[in-house]
C-alpha cells in the first residue's frame, strides 16, 4: 500500500509513511512480527542506511543495490557478517 510504504521519487530508496500501519498490516503478513524497531534492525543487518527528516515522521531507507529500476541488483544484498 503506497500510503504506508513507497518508493522515493528517484527510485533509489523506500519511505515508511505510516509506521503504525506498517506494524499492524504489513509486518505481520511478511515478517511474522509487528515491531518497526525489529524491521529497522534487520534493514541495518543488510546494510541499509536510514535517512530521516526530523520535521516529519517519514523514515527513508536506501541501499546501493536496492533500486526500483534494477531489480536484478537486489539479489546482491547480503546480510553483514557478524564480528
The answer to the question of residue 81 being in a domain is no
Grid cell listed for 81:
557478517
Total domain count, the chain: 1
CATH number at residue 63: 1.10.10.10
Cell 515478517 belongs to residue: 31
The answer to the question of residue 83 being in a domain is no
The answer to the question of residue 64 being in a domain is yes
- Give the alpha-carbon dihedral of 52, 58, 59, 63, to 10 degrees: -100
Which pLDDT tens digit goes with each residue over 38-49?
Answer: 999 999 999 999
The answer to the question of residue 47 being in a domain is yes
Segment-wise mean pLDDT, segments of 10 residues, the chain, 83 residues: 92 94 95 94 95 77 96 94 77
The answer to the question of residue 12 being in a domain is yes
Is 69:11 a contact under the CB 8 Å cutoff?
A: yes
pTM score of the predicted model: 0.85
The answer to the question of residue 82 being in a domain is no
| Integer angstrom CA distances of residue 31 from 27, 52, 55, 58 | 5, 23, 29, 21
Domain extent for 48:
5-76
Amino acid at each position: 500500500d503506497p500510503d504506508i510504504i513507497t518508493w522515493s521519487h528517484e527510485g533509489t530508496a523506500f519511505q515508511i509513511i505510516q509506521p503504525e500501519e506498517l506494524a499492524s498490516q504489513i509486518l505481520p503478513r511478511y515478517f511474522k512480527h509487528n515491531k518497526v524497531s525489529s524491521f529497522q534492525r534487520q534493514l541495518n543487518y543488510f546494510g541499509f542506511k536510514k535517512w530521516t527528516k526530523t520535521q516529519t515522521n517519514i523514515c527513508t531507507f536506501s541501499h546501493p543495490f536496492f533500486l526500483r529500476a534494477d531489480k536484478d541488483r537486489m539479489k546482491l544484498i547480503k546480510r553483514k557478517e557478524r564480528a
